Amino acid sequence: MKRDNDVLEDRILDFAARVGKVVDAIPHTRLGRHIAAQLVRSGTSPAPNYAEACGAESRNDFIHKLGICLKELRESRSWLRLIIKSKLLPESRMLKVCDECEQLMNIIAKSIVTAKSNSRLERNKPPSRGQRVRV
């Protein structure tokens, strides 16, 4: 059975693959080439950043790397919306990838909130017996 972070990593990788297909379908106009170049970067970046977050050295490192992942997803959402607004591809073709981007953003944002909350709880927890207290 897959762990939750494996399922999420697969979803983020699937999103990157979908973005690649969108990029390949964009017309080769001046605007199309610009958007495609930007989207291929921001749309494929969340996958390796999420993988790095899963191997983070600390909770702060985890939060930071998830933050990068979220920023790249937000940027991707903007490029996807611009593709629709500029009518480079039909909106009907973009709905699923846009929806997946929104869902991934919500999941990553909630993970950041949870990690920050757990970090605060950890700091406010009284020391256990035999544990040093930092002053």
Show pLDDT as tens, one digit a residue, over the chain (135 residues). 667 778 999 999 999 999 999 999 999 999 999 999 999 999 999 999 999 999 999 999 999 999 999 999 999 999 999 999 999 999 999 999 999 999 999 999 999 999 998 877 666 666 666 655 554
Identify the pLDDT of residue 123: 66
Identify the pLDDT of residue 118: 81
Identify the pLDDT of residue 127: 61
Structural domain includes residue 128: no
Structural domain includes residue 51: yes
126 φ, ψ (degrees, to nearest 5): -65, 150
Identify the pLDDT of residue 135: 45
Number of neighbouring beta carbons within 10 Å of residue 130: 5
Burial of residue 114 (CB within 10 Å: 0-12, 13-18, 19+) is exposed
CATH of the domain at 51: 1.20.1440.60
Domain count of the chain?
A: 1
Identify the pLDDT of residue 5: 74
Measured between alpha carbons, how far is 47 from 72 in angstroms, rounded to an integer?
A: 10
Structural domain includes residue 133: no
